[in-house]
Structure 1
Amino acid sequence: MRKTTDVIGEMVFHNQILPEDIPKIDLYIDQVIQLFESSFVDSKRRSDEKILTKTMINNYAKGKLFYPVHNKKYSRDHIMLISLIYQMKSALSINDVKQVLTGINEKAEQKELDLEAFYRSYLALQQSNTEVFADALKHQTQEAADQVVEVKDSEELERVLLIASLVHTSNLYRRAAEKLVDEMVERVEK
């Protein structure tokens, strides 16, 4: 099986929209899509995959995942919120994402939160998570290899074990996130 370092090297962890990448002027929806497409192009699994579409953004707006736009233009704060939605929707339901971001949206709309500072904190955590992930992937790869020592077709079995292990780990993280969302909802309801 390929070395873990090769797999990690091929994965793109730096794809993110940094605050300094966001223009200082408000953007129309096509410009927002272009910004996301150019920023996340290397993280696509397939070249024909869409990162963000007008329909997605309109659905986020209708679902009130971010506060209303003005004159069909998206502010820097909207773009940071859409980036958070983009990241969260791969593991959480849209309803859960909405629950998580409701307070952030309200504070950002009322200018009670420096969304850029919050977003930079998120990016710093993301960088730290990337380092933790790389170490964990090396460990999981070794664990899978250790389980199939001296077995015929061990490379295929090792790969299947590693994939199953990664999916299980992903599910554990998703369930932990869902539990935290549920606790947020309970606190709000009280």
Structure 2
Amino acid sequence: MNNLNEILDQLGLEKTITLDDIPNIDLYMDQVIQLFENKYGKTKRNDSEKVMTKTMINNYAKGKVFFPIQNKKYSKEHLILISMIYHLKGALSINDIKTTLQGINDKTVKKDFDLEAFYTSYLQLLENNVESFKHEVTTREAAVKSEVSKLTDQDHQYLEQILLIATFVSTSNLYRRVAEKLIDNLEQVKEQ
């Protein structure tokens, strides 16, 4: 089996777009794409995968996942929201992301919300999640090895790989399902 520590290193889990990465001037779409490509380009699964495309950004804009841009330029607030969308899109539908970020969008437009402070908190939690995740991966790997050692089949390495994949996917699905339930309850939380 591949060394999980090597795989974790290849994933670039610590890579995020920080507030320091976002210029204080508005950017054109090509510049936004370049920013994301520069930050996340090495984390792609393969060379044909795209980090961010014009089509993606246009779909987010058309779907009103973030508030409208001005003069074909994206503000720092837009980039913060697009960064959050980037992280959420791996597990949630565009409609769920829109629902999740709607209140943040509204507050940002009204200018009665410190989006940068919120994003800083988000990045801190993301960093904590990465550390917890790395620990969890090694715990799950040990559990899988223990289970496979009970099997009489001689191809333990292959079976470990399959069970690790199944374990990671099932865990991911559990987290996604909880997130979806929280999204379903978001309207009630906003009203309170």
TM class, shorter-length: over 0.9
Q: Residues of 2 paired with 1:51 and 1:16: CA distance?
A: 13
Q: Which residue does the alignment assign to 2:155? A: 153
Which portions of structure 1, spanning 4 or more consecutive aligned residues, are displaced by more than 4 angstroms? 186-190
After TM superposition, give the deviation of residue 136 of structure 1 in Å: 0.4
Say if 2:10 and 2:43, in contact at 8 Å, map to a contact too. no
Q: Residues of 2 paired with 1:54 and 1:7: CA distance?
A: 29
Per-residue CA distance 1:77-109 (angstroms, 9 max, x = gap): 000000111111110110000000000000011
After TM superposition, give the deviation of residue 187 of structure 1 in Å: 4.9
For the aligned residue pairs, the C-alpha RMSD in angstroms reads 1.5
Q: Which residue does the alignment assign to 1:172? A: 174
Say if 2:91 and 2:176, in contact at 8 Å, map to a contact too. yes
Per-residue CA distance 1:7-37 (angstroms, 9 max, x = gap): 3233211221111111111001111111111
Q: Which residue does the alignment assign to 2:83? A: 83
Aligned length: 190
Give the TM-score taking structure 2 as reference length.
Answer: 0.94
Q: Residues of 2 paired with 1:10 and 1:112: CA distance?
A: 39
After TM superposition, give the deviation of residue 179 of structure 1 in Å: 0.6
| Aligned partner letter, 1:180 | L
Q: Residues of 1 paired with 2:26 and 2:71: CA distance?
A: 10
Say if 2:14 and 2:130, in contact at 8 Å, map to a contact too. no
Q: SS of the residue aligned with 1:148?
A: helix
After TM superposition, give the deviation of residue 48 of structure 1 in Å: 2.2
Q: Residues of 2 paired with 1:34 and 1:8: CA distance?
A: 24
Q: SS of the residue aligned with 1:69?
A: coil
Q: Residues of 1 paired with 2:107 and 2:57: CA distance?
A: 21
Question: Which structure 1 segments of 5+ residues have no match?
Answer: none
Say if 2:85 and 2:97, in contact at 8 Å, map to a contact too. yes
Q: % of aligned pairs identical?
A: 50
Q: Which residue does the alignment assign to 2:114? A: 114
Q: Residues of 2 paired with 1:129 and 1:112: CA distance?
A: 28
Per-residue CA distance 1:91-136 (angstroms, 9 max, x = gap): 0110000000000000011111111110111000000000000010
The reply on whether 1:37 has 2:33 as its aligned counterpart is no
Structure 1 residues 24 and 188 mapped into 2: Cα distance closer, same or farther (>3 Å)? Answer: closer
Q: Residues of 2 paired with 1:170 and 1:131: CA distance?
A: 16
Say if 1:144 and 1:162, in contact at 8 Å, map to a contact too. yes
Give the TM-score taking structure 1 as reference length.
Answer: 0.95
Say if 1:96 and 1:178, in contact at 8 Å, map to a contact too. yes
Q: Residues of 2 paired with 1:53 and 1:4: CA distance?
A: 30
Matches within 5 A, 1:64-79: 64-79=64-79
Say if 1:15 and 1:42, in contact at 8 Å, map to a contact too. no
Q: Which residue does the alignment assign to 1:181? A: 183
Q: Residues of 1 paired with 2:116 and 2:64: CA distance?
A: 20
| Aligned partner letter, 1:167 | V
